[in-house]
Structure 1
């Protein structure tokens, strides 16, 4: 009896240890091992566009001042194109002045009949999310905010954003603009985008104009002898009140709040050369938009790692050669041109495989390459496939796999005319012989 009790005790103890171990280190964890307390959220690898976390990412929602990321993009594009420069000056028209003078918009009080540089206006927009300076920049670039809104929507289409509706340059509700709301937009509308589109916009803004981070990471700046502060509390502030929000590597990007949008934040950070982009939409409070962003970034950096899955020169077993027509060699070897890497979740290194996708235009009807063939000639792509349980896809492509080129590893010369002629004669008589054989065979069948 005593032995049975000991055995039962041991079994129960082992089960309890196993269950506790599973709870701490769950095997085959669910889609995402975190839950973000916001209406929508996304986490993206800024190099590959891979989505590492997703919650309601296709739902259109108001985005408040995150709208200004598109205004920033168009300003930086205009500078890059030479249409304006940082020292270009403009004065404040009645419309942005009326917004600036309204204390409810908590902006910087601008002065009319004074020249402001593009840099001054841009800094106030990017750092302090000032609405009046944003409108002044829109008017400078397009002549009017109405025309600028058309540019915003055209650029969104050009960038391939899947879900968007820009109605003004600032992210305010059109009601707040009074009679100045842009032509062609609803007087009660507010700019809306999906979390996926917002992340895509942030991705293109950082990729195309990395100088945006020089401004979004500034803690303070000054205009008209007024010092203003950045609304991003995750930056390295020397302030005990903000210490709880700080996250090493954060250098942007854009906060937002309206009654309709709630508290929003597009964040970005870089650590050990890896940049992540996060979007949190309609969090419970101003504090929570940063707490939830911190949760996303911690998840991304602790649970994922950029890994080289297949080296340059990789060959799929059993598929390392392609037959060659009219060449001095009958086959040519192929291999991947570059390293194929991905952002891999811990424990999922074995969840990937690759396949070849040959360029049909390079092959004849018999699936052969035709000589002459150069060394390093591209013949197709090697595509990466994820075979795990959770695949959020990418913000950059719909169903398009990561890939690298596959190339020939040597050159194959074309046979000389004599050998080709002999080969042709051989083929001719071979065909005749086959035809005669088939005929004779038919006589006796």
Structure 2
């Protein structure tokens, strides 16, 4: 009996050593072309610009499980911001939310039927502990029913620019787990689906529009209804948060997800030295091909280490930069007949450390402000935007962004450097006369030259 206990302790020790070894700082950093994430799909982006640093099968529709709750969070925070819902607003538990919340085989805080809870405590239960009954309750708070809320989710998905997605419920559970009470907008076999790119886009928009979500998503442990008979200790399912098992420096969020259909998933956010990265792994597996909660954190660490260790932010275009051969634009009716244009701000992109690739700038003119080819109409104000600058590598490869929207936003404005007033009638008349005599003179020169 004693030897069995010893063997058990040895096995536990070896497991802990294995976990620790996975979390030691990497001595070498893999190149993207050699890196393989053990997941059905993965993506890593810059959290500020949406620039893609790594992608693997980014556009396949896959199950997202509780990562669905990022959309529920977005819609709740939007409703709070628009004052349609308040944090202290009371909710009375419906039979549907009650029945789902009582299933402790799912992630839940049990809610009492007919009891009232405020929006903030339901939000914390959903965001920290991924409580499914709480997610359903919040859907009912916002839209009256989960079915109506699902319509709102899909409508918002389109507005946010998600390309590949399908929302069928507010929690991310398989519809088959909703005890026959799933929204009537879908079937019992339906699942919440997104691509890795769409998942990253959802997280990107959530952090851009409502960065306060991280204040709650980064809480490692908290008690639900502390000090009452219903108190439940909530431990965040994001084990990469500081003080938890897979603690990762700079980890701030965001959402895990696990179902039999989706496998082990995780959208992670981390910040170091002023840089923010967003990673997504879907259906992560360990080296033996098995899915499990640890796999998503091991694969996320690979992605984040790659982003922080191999990339740096570099100013590839300086403020005031002028594209050779396109330093000015014409203003035929201005006091000055042309005006200089230049980059309004620097352009910063993530580049490989030590990379010597040179970048070429390209101007896309804002045609709506031009009256003719390369011609502006006076008056023109200093700082007026006439186009946007982007870059490609010297080999012609573009800098890749999450979607066209982020690629457009990443371009920097090209502006005129000074104000040019409209020329008065006298100046315009003199130009016309000068132009006439200039034409006559050049005509005479050509004619006389022809005689000889």
TM-score in terms of structure 2 length: 0.85
> Among 427, 432, 446, which residue is 1:424 paired with?
432
CA distance in 1: counterparts of 2:387 and 2:418, whole angstroms = 16
CA distance in 1: counterparts of 2:81 and 2:356, whole angstroms = 41
CA distance in 1: counterparts of 2:434 and 2:99, whole angstroms = 89
Aligned to 1:105, the other structure's residue is in SS state: coil
> Among 405, 410, 419, which residue is 2:418 paired with?
410
CA distance in 2: counterparts of 1:31 and 1:276, whole angstroms = 16
Bigger radius of gyration among the two: 1
Structure 1 spans left out of the alignment, 5+ residues: 1-23
CA distance in 2: counterparts of 1:366 and 1:181, whole angstroms = 59
Matches within 5 A, 1:217-296: 217-223=218-224, 224-237=230-243, 242=245, 245-284=246-285, 285-296=292-303
What's the offset of the Cα at 1:74? 0.7
CA distance in 2: counterparts of 1:159 and 1:280, whole angstroms = 21
1:216 aligns with 2:217: yes
Change (3 A) 1:349 1:175: same
CA distance in 2: counterparts of 1:355 and 1:207, whole angstroms = 27
CA distance in 1: counterparts of 2:359 and 2:366, whole angstroms = 23
CA-to-aligned-CA distance 1:69-109 (integer Å, 9 cap, x gap): 11111111111110111111111110111111223224222
CA distance in 1: counterparts of 2:87 and 2:308, whole angstroms = 36
CA distance in 1: counterparts of 2:405 and 2:420, whole angstroms = 37
> Among 352, 363, 366, which residue is 2:370 paired with?
363
What's the offset of the Cα at 1:234? 0.4
Change (3 A) 1:144 1:361: closer
Change (3 A) 1:230 1:389: farther
Conserved in 1, the CA contact under 8 Å of 2:392 and 2:398? Answer: no
CA distance in 2: counterparts of 1:168 and 1:387, whole angstroms = 47
CA distance in 2: counterparts of 1:102 and 1:367, whole angstroms = 67
The range that moved more, 352-361 or 174-183, is 352-361
CA distance in 1: counterparts of 2:281 and 2:260, whole angstroms = 16
Matches within 5 A, 1:189-204: 189-204=190-205
What's the offset of the Cα at 1:423? 2.3
Matches within 5 A, 1:335-350: 335-350=342-357
Aligned to 1:267, the other structure's residue is in SS state: strand
Conserved in 1, the CA contact under 8 Å of 2:391 and 2:399? Answer: no
Conserved in 2, the CA contact under 8 Å of 1:45 and 1:276? Answer: yes
Conserved in 2, the CA contact under 8 Å of 1:122 and 1:134? Answer: yes
CA-to-aligned-CA distance 1:196-240 (integer Å, 9 cap, x gap): 000011111111111110111111122221112111110112x6x
CA-to-aligned-CA distance 1:251-281 (integer Å, 9 cap, x gap): 1111111111110011000111111000010
- 1:4 matched to which residue of 2? none
What's the offset of the Cα at 1:367? 2.8
What's the offset of the Cα at 1:365? 3.3
What's the offset of the Cα at 1:431? 6.3
Matches within 5 A, 1:27-426: 31-223=32-224, 224-237=230-243, 242=245, 245-284=246-285, 285-365=292-372, 367-387=374-394, 393-397=400-404, 400=407, 402-426=410-434
The range that moved more, 93-102 or 397-406, is 397-406
What's the offset of the Cα at 1:433? 8.2
What's the offset of the Cα at 1:327? 3.1
CA distance in 1: counterparts of 2:253 and 2:277, whole angstroms = 11
- Give me the CA root mean square deviation: 2.6
CA distance in 2: counterparts of 1:378 and 1:398, whole angstroms = 19
Aligned to 1:132, the other structure's residue is in SS state: helix
Conserved in 2, the CA contact under 8 Å of 1:52 and 1:392? Answer: no
CA distance in 2: counterparts of 1:213 and 1:366, whole angstroms = 48
CA distance in 1: counterparts of 2:444 and 2:406, whole angstroms = 52
TM-score in terms of structure 1 length: 0.86
CA distance in 2: counterparts of 1:169 and 1:366, whole angstroms = 52
Change (3 A) 1:103 1:411: closer
CA distance in 2: counterparts of 1:396 and 1:357, whole angstroms = 18
Conserved in 1, the CA contact under 8 Å of 2:391 and 2:398? Answer: no
Aligned to 2:36, the other structure's residue is in SS state: coil
CA distance in 2: counterparts of 1:389 and 1:33, whole angstroms = 22
